Amino acid sequence: MQARVLRELAASSFAEQASVLADAQRLILIGTGSSLHAARLGAWHLRRRGIDAVALASSDLAHWEPAVRPGNALVVISHTGQTAYSLRARLDALAAGLPLVSITGEGAGWPEALIAGPTETSDTYTVSYLASLGVIARLADGIEAVRGGASVRPASLTLLDAADRVQEAIDAPEIAHIGVPPRATALVGTGPWAVTAAEGALKLREAARVLAEAYDAETLLHGSAAPLTEADTLIALQPSADPDGLIDGLAAAAHAEGVHVVTLDEQRPLTDPFYAQFPLTVRLQQLAAHFAQRRGQNPDDVIVGCWHADSLWNAGRPARAS
């Protein structure tokens, strides 16, 4: 399904929504959980295209960040349209008359939203994540067109390449050799691969109920590697993409300390590092499903027990949205 959704997005045009964002001095992308990871990776991609963009957690925008300034525009990412703080940010933006574009799945009920994929039955929202990134890529094309620029290689073509690689990763994920560690899994990457590490760690926690953490290379070096032992696994993401060789160095140090080390390094990575995250993300999703199967966990039913309490999930929810 993921490859099909990406191909459909490649054939789509979001010119109207792009025109809403094109006049903004800065785009603020917000989300929670996987949506925040999509916001972070999407904002980085937009900045590389010469579009000023930042990513914020929805709850931070609600309480801890300065009010959105005139000249800014908001991009709200929410798979379901029901996330409390994303609902709040969207309604506040509408009330203030701010330029707004929303990205959701089908059935969210947000009239202005771009639909990034079908409604998912799994709590892990695997399809929606890549679909949100695909929408952001198409928006970047549209913004450049409105501003009079032209893409060297438009997302409509690059998404097709990514869709092919995603299907390859689905057909042959090459992760069956990775065993569930006795204690914890740490994922490490550099640049955009660090964002993918965070998304992968979240999927391992959600789907397989394993302790998983994610780090950029510098953070792992500066103290975070200290607790790792032979009971842990370190997954190094695309060491060949690290211009300083730090990922390889960390993997070697971890191995010398008795930590089990696994390398996920695409042999034919897509040239653009943004799109290179798509097939790697799928491999990590497949790893989470693999771990879930090994541990007898249901990978689709994540929020259970006391974690499902309405008091938790309604915190921050605007009263007018209830």
In this predicted model, what pLDDT tens digit does every residue of 39-49 receive, in sequence order? Answer: 999 999 999 99
What's the rounded Cα separation, in Å, for the pair 250 and 255? 9
Indicate yes or no: pTM above 0.85. Answer: yes
**CA distances for 16 relative to 101, 143, 162, 197, 308, angstroms:** 10, 10, 25, 33, 38
Q: What is the mean pLDDT of residues 63-92?
A: 92
Asked whether the predicted pLDDT for residue 322 surpasses 50, the reply is no
Q: What is the mean pLDDT of residues 1-18?
A: 92
What confidence category does residue 156 fall into, taking pLDDT thresholds of 50, 70 and 90?
confident
What confidence category does residue 64 fall into, taking pLDDT thresholds of 50, 70 and 90?
very high
Share of the chain above pLDDT 90, in %: 79
Per the CB < 8 A criterion, the answer to whether 213 and 303 are in contact is: no
pLDDT digits (tens, 9 = 90+) for 294-309: 999 998 888 889 999 9
pLDDT digits (tens, 9 = 90+) for 215-243: 999 999 999 999 999 999 999 999 999 99
- The matching CATH number, chosen from 3.90.1150.10, 3.40.47.10, 3.40.50.10490, 3.40.140.10, for 177-295 is 3.40.50.10490
Domain chopping of the chain, boundaries: 2-169, 177-295
pLDDT of residue 254: 98
Number of neighbours of residue 222 by Cβ within 10 angstroms: 10
Number of neighbours of residue 266 by Cβ within 10 angstroms: 18
pLDDT of residue 150: 63
What confidence category does residue 108 fall into, taking pLDDT thresholds of 50, 70 and 90?
confident
Asked if the 2-169 domain carries CATH number 3.40.50.2000, the reply is no
What confidence category does residue 102 fall into, taking pLDDT thresholds of 50, 70 and 90?
very high
What's the rounded Cα separation, in Å, for the pair 195 and 44? 10
What confidence category does residue 101 fall into, taking pLDDT thresholds of 50, 70 and 90?
very high
pLDDT digits (tens, 9 = 90+) for 183-225: 999 999 999 999 999 999 999 999 999 999 999 999 999 999 9
Asked whether the predicted pLDDT for residue 121 surpasses 80, the reply is no
Q: What is the mean pLDDT of residues 138-146?
A: 93
Which segment of 34-38, 120-124, 197-201, 277-281 scores lowest on mean pLDDT? 120-124
pLDDT of residue 321: 58
Q: Is 27 left (phi over 0), alpha (psi -120 to 50) or beta?
A: beta
Average pLDDT of every residue of the chain: 93
**Token representation of residue 211:** 């302790």
**Token representation of residue 218:** 């510098």
pLDDT of residue 7: 93
Same fold, 2-169 and 177-295: yes
What's the rounded Cα separation, in Å, for the pair 47 and 31? 18
